[in-house]
Chain A
Amino acid sequence: MRSPETGTAENAESAEKAFLSATAAPSAVESFRWLLRKECRELLASRAWWVLLLAMGPLVGVTFISAVRTYAEASGLNGTTAGVGEAFSPLIGIWAPTFSACEVAAVFLLPFVAIRLVAGDRQSGALKIETQHPMPAFARIAAKTQVLLAGWLVALLAPAVAILLWKTYGGSLYPPEVATVALGHLLNAGLTIALAAATASLTEHPSTAAILTLSVTVGTWIVNFIAAVQGGLWERAAGYTPPAMVAAFQHGLIRLDVVLIALVLVVSGLALASVWIRTGVAIRQRVRETIALTAITAAAAIACSFATSSWDTSENRTNSFSRADEAALAQIRAPLRIEAHLAPEDSRRADLERKTIAKLRRVMPALQVQYVSATSIGLFEQNTQHYGEIWYELGGRREMNRVTTVGGVLETIYALAGVTPPAETDEAEFRGHPLAVPPTGAALVFYGIWPALVVAGAFLLRRQI
C-alpha cells in the first residue's frame, strides 16, 4: 500500500474542498440504472437462472414433441383416421401442452431464481449497503422484478423455438391465440416472482423462503381441490388461482377480471417485499403496513372481480357461442337467473359450466348462477326429488329442464325471453388445421442444441462478469 505522504498537494486540496462541501444527492434515475445493471449481472452470475434455462429446452421439447406426434397421428399420420374440428386447433393440440412446460418451470424453478436474487443481498450483506441509498424500497424491488421478467422472457425463447419449428413443419399459426397463451404465462411468472420476492423479504433464510413459496403454491392447489368438492365461494376463488388463470389463457380467453386481479396480486406481492426489505424500519411499523396492504389488496381484488369484459382470441372461438347466438342473446335485457341442482363433482355440472355457462357469462354480464346440492359428488342425491333440475328465471317467468347441452340451454333461454332462435347460418365452422408430420429435428434442437448453447452461454458470460 502506498503511504499517504506520497499524495500530491493538489489531491489533498481538492479532497479537502470536496469533503467540506455539501454533497449532492444521487440522481434517482442514474442510481436506478446502476441498480438494474447490478441486478442483470447478479442474474447472469446466478446458477439458478442458468439451470432454469437449461431445463427449459428439454421441458418444452418433451411436451412439444409429444403434442406434435399426437396431433400428427390424429391428423392421419401412420394410417390413422383423420378427424375434423376442435381437435385440430393448434391452440389446444400444440400450444397449450407446449407452454405447460412454462407452468412447471414457473412453479418449480423460477421461485428459486427470484429468491436467490432477492435474498442474496441479505445473505451477502449487500443489503446493508444498498439500503442506505435514499431510493424507495419499492424501486429496489422493481429493479429486481424487471430483471427477473427479462430473464423469464429469455427462458420463453424455448417455446419460441417450438413455434419456429412448427412453422417449418407447415403448421398453422394464429398469432392472437399464441400471444394470449404467452401473456398468461408472463402473468403467471409475474405472480411467482412477486410471491418469491415477498417470501424472500419476509424470511431470514432463502430455504425458508423457498418452503414458504412452495407452500403457497400447494395452497392454491388445495383451494382448487376444495372448490371441486365444495363449489360456491371456493369455486369463485379458485377461478383466480394461477393454475385456473393459466388454463383460461391456454384456451385463448383473456378475462379482464383475471388480468386485473393478477396485476393487483403482483403489485401487492412486490409492495409486501418492499415493506419487509426495509430492515431499518421497526417491525411493528412493518406489520401495520402489511395489514393495511392486505386490506387494500383484498378490496382491490374484490373490486376487480366485478369486471366482466373478456376477449376470446382463439381461432375456433372455443370460448364463445356462434355469432348469431351471441347477437340473439344480446337482445335479452332482463337479468337471467339459473339455479342448477347439480353437485360440484357431477360431470354434468362441469359440462354445463364449461361449455355453456362460461360462454353465457361473456355475453350476459347480469347472469346469476346458483348451484344447489346437499353433497359434493351427487351420487346419493340422484333419487331426491329435484336433483338434476335446472331452473331458468327471466323477466318473472320460470322454466325447468334437465338438459346441459349448449343447444338445450339456449333453446330454454330463447323461449323464456321470447326471442326467436337464430336460423342455422353458413357461418364458417372451424374445420381445424390437421398436420400429419412428425416432429423432425425437434429432439436434436431441444435435447442437444439448446442445452449446449445454454452451457456455452453460461461458461462465456459468467467468465466475463
Chain B
Amino acid sequence: MFQARNLTKRYGRLTALSDVSFSVRRGEVLGLIGPNGSGKTTLFECVGGVLPLDAGSLMLDGRPMSDRERAATLFYLPDAIVPWPAQTVRWAIDFMLGFFRGRTYLHTEVVTRLGLEPLLDVTMGSLSKGQRKRALLGLGLLMPQPVLLADEPFEGLDLRQSRDVAQTLRSYASFGRTMFLSIHQIGDAARVCDRFVLLSGGRARGEGTSGELAALAAARGSVAGDDLEEVFLALT
C-alpha cells in the first residue's frame, strides 16, 4: 500500500524517531507495538501529516507520496483528544461525513457495531473515555481513506469492548480496509494484528508476522519462542 523510509523526527536534542522504515500492505491489520515513550504517537503524527518529519519519506508506488496523495490515502485518528466537545456525537459524525465526504453508506452499520446509538445525542465532551474512544473509532471507520491509522484504539475500553472493537476492525480489514494500529498492550495487538512493527527508543526493531519476528529473535540468539511478549522483549 505504502512504505515509510528512514523516518526521523527530533524535538530539539531529543531524537524521537530514528531512521524508521516499514511497509503497509493493503487490507492488513498492522500493529505498531512499543512501550510508552517509544515514539508510536510521534510516528503516527508524522505519517498522518500532523507533525513535520525531519528526514525520511512516505513512498507510494515507488515514489514519494505528495501531501494530496497522503490526504487521500491515510486517515490518522489521534488518541486522547476531545474534538468539538460542545457538539453531539450525531453531529460530529455528520460533520465528518460531510467534511471529508465519508462513507455515508456505512453510517448505520458502524453506529450499530460500535454501540453508538445511545450516545448519538450526547455531546462529545460528556462522553466517558471508553465511549469517546468508540465514537472516535466510528468516525475513523467512516472516513473515505483506504488506510486508517488509529492511535491506541483499545485505550479506555473494557475487556468485552476491546474484543468487540477488535472484531469490528478485523471485519473491515477483511473487506479491504487497511488498519495500522498503535498499541502498547501486546496482548491486544496479538489478538487483532496480522503483522507488527516493533518500535523501541524511536527505532524500528523488527517487522513481520509473529512467526517472522520469532524467527528474527531466534536468529539473534534468543529463545523467546512464539510468545509475542517474549519476542518483543528479545528484540528490544
> A: which residues have CB within 8 A of B?
1-4, 7, 11-12, 14-16, 18-20, 23-27, 30-31, 33-35, 37-38, 41-42, 45, 121, 124-126, 128-134, 279-283, 285, 462, 465
Chain B residues proximal to chain A, CB less than 8 Å:
45, 48-52, 54, 67-68, 71-72, 74-78, 80-88, 91, 95-96, 98-101, 103, 105-106, 109, 112-115, 134, 139, 144-146, 161, 164-165, 167-168, 170-172, 175-177
Q: How far is the CA of A20 from the CA of B67 in the complex (A)?
A: 21
Supply 21 A–B pairs (Cβ within 8 Å), ascending by A.
Answer: A1-B134, A3-B167, A15-B172, A25-B68, A26-B101, A31-B98, A33-B98, A34-B98, A38-B84, A38-B87, A41-B86, A42-B86, A124-B81, A124-B82, A124-B83, A125-B78, A125-B83, A280-B50, A280-B52, A283-B52, A285-B52
Tell me whether B76 and A134 are in contact (CB under 8 A).
no
- Which residues of A sit under 8 angstroms from B165, Cβ to Cβ? 1
Cα A2 to Cα B177 with chains together (Å)? 19
The chain A residue sitting closest to B97, CB to CB, is A34
Q: In the bound complex, how far is the Cα of B72 from the Cα of A465, in angstroms?
A: 30
Q: How far is the CA of A42 from the CA of B85 in the complex (A)?
A: 9
Tell me the nearest residue of chain B to A284, going by C-beta.
Answer: B52
In the assembled complex, the CB of A282 is this many whole angstroms from the nearest CB of chain B, namely: 4
> With A24-B101, A38-B95, A280-B50 given, is the CB distance from A132 to B71 under 8 Å?
yes
Shortest C-beta distance, A141 to chain B (Å), equals 16
Question: Known contacts being A31-B100, A34-B95, is A7 close to B52, with CB within 8 Å?
Answer: no
Given contacts A4-B113, A4-B168, A4-B171, contact A132 B50 (CB under 8 A): yes
CA distance A132 to B69 in the complex (A): 11
A7 with B171, Cβ < 8 A, contacts A24-B144, A34-B98, A131-B50 known: yes
CB distance from B62 to the nearest CB of A (A): 18
Let me know if A42 and B84 touch, CB within 8 A: yes
Residues of A within 8 A of B170 (CB): 4
Instruction: Please name all residues of chain A whose beta carbon is closer than 8 Å to the beta carbon of B67 when the two chains form the complex.
Output: 134
On chain B, the residues within 8 Å of A126 by CB distance are 81, 83-84
**Across the interface, do A41 and B109 meet the contact criterion of CB distance under 8 Å?**
no
Q: Which of B68, B72, B81, B164 contacts A128 (CB 8 A)?
A: B81
A45: nearest chain-B partner, CB-CB: B86
The answer for the CA separation of A125 and B99 in the assembled complex, in Å, is 16
Q: Is the CB of B114 within 8 A of A23?
A: no
Q: Closest CB of chain B to A253's CB: distance in Å?
A: 42
Q: How far is the CB of B44 from chain A (nearest CB, A)?
A: 10
A282 and B176 alpha carbons, distance in the complex (Å): 33
Question: Shortest Cβ distance from A437 into chain B, in angstroms?
Answer: 45
Which A residues are CB-close (under 8 A) to B167? 3-4
Contacting residue for B115 out of A1, A15, A37, A42, CB 8 A: A1
Q: How far is the CA of A126 from the CA of B92 in the complex (A)?
A: 11
B48 CB, nearest partner CB in chain A, Å:
6
Across the interface, B72 reaches (CB within 8 A) one of A11, A25, A30, A462, namely A25
Point out the residues of chain B lying under 8 angstroms from A25, CB to CB. Answer: 68, 72, 101
A125 x B81 contact (CB < 8 A):
yes
Which single residue of chain B is at the shortest CB-CB distance from A279?
B50
User: Are A128 and B78 also in contact (CB < 8 A) when A24-B144, A279-B50, A282-B52 are?
Assistant: yes
B175 contacts A280, C-beta separation under 8 Å: no
- How many Å lie between the Cα of A16 and that of B175 in the bound state? 4
| CB-CB nearest in chain A for B50 | A128
Q: Most chain-A CB neighbours within 10 Å: which of B95, B103, B106, B115?
A: B95
Specify which of A7, A20, A130 is in contact with B113 (CB 8 Å cutoff).
A7
Given A18-B105, A20-B176, A37-B95: A132 touches B81 (CB 8 Å cut-off): no
| A280 CA to B109 CA, complexed, in Å | 33
Whole-angstrom CA separation of A25 from B101 in the bound complex: 8
Q: Is the CB of B95 within 8 A of A2?
A: no
Q: How far is the CB of A457 from chain B (nearest CB, A)?
A: 16
Query: Is B99 touching A133 in the complex (CB atoms < 8 A)?
Result: yes
Asked if A15 meets B175 with Cβ closer than 8 Å, knowing A132-B75, A133-B100, the reply is: yes
Given A19-B175, A31-B99 in contact, is the A132-B113 Cβ separation under 8 Å?
no
Q: Which residues of chain B are near A34, meaning CB under 8 Å?
A: 95, 98-99
What 7 A-B pairs come out closest when comparing CB atoms? A125-B81, A45-B86, A126-B83, A4-B171, A1-B115, A19-B176, A26-B101
Residues from chain A with a CB closer than 8 A to the CB of B83 are: 121, 124-126, 129
Residues from chain B with a CB closer than 8 A to the CB of A42 are 84, 86-87
- Which chain B residues border A2 with CB–CB below 8 Å? 112-113, 115
Could you say which residues of chain B place their CB within 8 Å of the CB of A16?
175-176
